Structure 1
Amino acid sequence: MPIRTHRGRAAVYRRLWGWPLRSPRHLVVALVVVVGAATVVGLLLPDPPPQQRSPTYTAEPGGDVRAEAPTQPKSPPTLSVPQNAPPPARPSPRGVAVADAWAQRFTAFRPGMDEQRWLDGLRPHTTDEFITEMASVDPANAPSAVTGRPEPGPATSTSMVVRVPTDLGPLRVTVNRTPDGWRVATYDREG
């Protein structure tokens, strides 16, 4: 039977969908009908089959048949976090020398100098991960001179912090021991 109204098909649909919102009683009736329909559908559907792998059989050339046990799903990898901090150690003179050489190269940028040349000077003293981060540093904002001797700070057998005084304030340079030797892993300005 066609829909014949002067307001058109949209008015009929609006009236049907708007019925639950006309009164609280209509809303409760609509919710009961929806919950009842979902329950009936859930009861009528069969239970899903359990997901179980059957053993696989392989035949040996001699005629023996072996069954391989089904493999268990792999659990996600776990991260082991050390419970104790590494023991403190004496600062390595080589690590301090790398921090000093890095700071000398870091402050070596002059106006008109190519930034890639500046980065290439830092590369031998910097970890591969940190050199990519250093590519985003504007060398014009770097200090222009080291003003004193580097002072080693807290250290472990694989890492140390070295304080390097510069004309724009001290730098805290973190040096890590890598398979290639000591390399600068990060730096911060004090203050």
Structure 2
Amino acid sequence: MPIRTNRGRAAVYRRLWGWPLRSPTHLIGTFIVVVGVLVAAGILVPRLVGDTGADASPTPGGQSQAPAAGGSSQDDETSSTSSSALPTRLTEPLATPSTAPPKPGALKAAADWASAWVNHPDGITNEKWLDGLRPYTTEEYLPVMRSVNPANIPATKVTGEPRATASYTSSAEVEVDTDGPTLTITVVSTNAGWRVAHYDQAG
């Protein structure tokens, strides 16, 4: 019959709590049961927790990750794994150009360009001066040359033969002496032939 009063429940609780104290045998039996429950809990709880951790989603490298507070540890590991998996663009040093003997066309283009560069009679316009350089200059470099004022060029004639200081299969560095500065001219091989792509003036 169900216990429906508080007094009845209290009596039952007193009997349950008082049962271990009735005799040494009851006390020892109660102690053994409590110890058994604690041991069983100590064995089962880690297994249950371990099974939950094993359900964590694996990373791209095949290793599982346990959730971390704030997600920072997981984010760091995921970022590191993703970064290591991506191929790097520069996996090897950049290849240097293959050296080659200076090409006659490269030397001639540099000499012709230098001759046009020093050809600036008084009163010549920039456009007229550029017309002399155009056949020996790359299309990309012509706009740069538009900023040069021919009246400021400190040379009037070429005084030496062109000489290659560096030569590759598709480009070369050529020096040309003038009655002013020595020109260091970069010539490159294009579909239209050898053309000047840059120059500097040495003192």
Give the alignment's TM-score, normalised by structure 1.
0.56
Distance 2:131 2:157 in 1: 18
Higher Rg of the two aligned structures: 2
RMSD over aligned Cα atoms: 2.0
SS of aligned partner of 1:162:
strand
1:82, CA displacement in angstroms? Answer: 6.4
Post-superposition, which runs of at least 4 consecutive aligned residues in structure 1 deviate over 2 A? Answer: 78-82
Match of 1:109 in 2: 120
Match of 1:177 in 2: 189
Q: Identify the structure with the greater strand proportion.
A: 1
Does structure 2 conserve the Cα–Cα contact (< 8 Å) formed by 1:147 and 1:167? yes
Match of 1:146 in 2: 158
Match of 2:48 in 1: none
Instruction: Confirm whether residue 164 of structure 1 aligns to residue 176 of structure 2.
Output: yes
AA aligned opposite 1:186: H
* Aligned positions, number: 115
Match of 1:118 in 2: 129
Q: Percent identity?
A: 41
AA aligned opposite 2:147: S
Does structure 1 conserve the Cα–Cα contact (< 8 Å) formed by 2:125 and 2:150? no
SS of aligned partner of 1:112:
coil
1:91, CA displacement in angstroms? Answer: 0.6
| Match of residue 110, structure 2, among 76, 99, 105 | 99
Match of 2:145 in 1: 134
Match of 2:36 in 1: none
Give ranges in structure 2 of 5+ residues lacking alignment: 1-88
* Deviation sequence 1:86-127 (CA, Å, 0-9, x none): 111111001100100000001000111222111011001000
Does structure 2 conserve the Cα–Cα contact (< 8 Å) formed by 1:161 and 1:174? yes
Does structure 1 conserve the Cα–Cα contact (< 8 Å) formed by 2:170 and 2:188? yes
* Deviation sequence 1:142-167 (CA, Å, 0-9, x none): 22111111111101101001100011
Instruction: Confirm whether residue 87 of structure 1 aligns to residue 94 of structure 2.
Output: no
Match of 2:79 in 1: none
Q: Which is further off, 145-154 or 100-109? A: 145-154
* Deviation sequence 1:13-59 (CA, Å, 0-9, x none): xxxxxxxxxxxxxxxxxxxxxxxxxxxxxxxxxxxxxxxxxxxxxxx
AA aligned opposite 1:170: T
Q: Identify the structure with the greater helix proportion.
A: 2
SS of aligned partner of 1:121:
helix
Match of 1:59 in 2: none
Distance 1:102 1:123 in 2: 9
Does structure 2 conserve the Cα–Cα contact (< 8 Å) formed by 1:152 and 1:163? yes
Give ranges in structure 1 of 5+ residues lacking alignment: 1-77
Give the alignment's TM-score, normalised by structure 2.
0.53
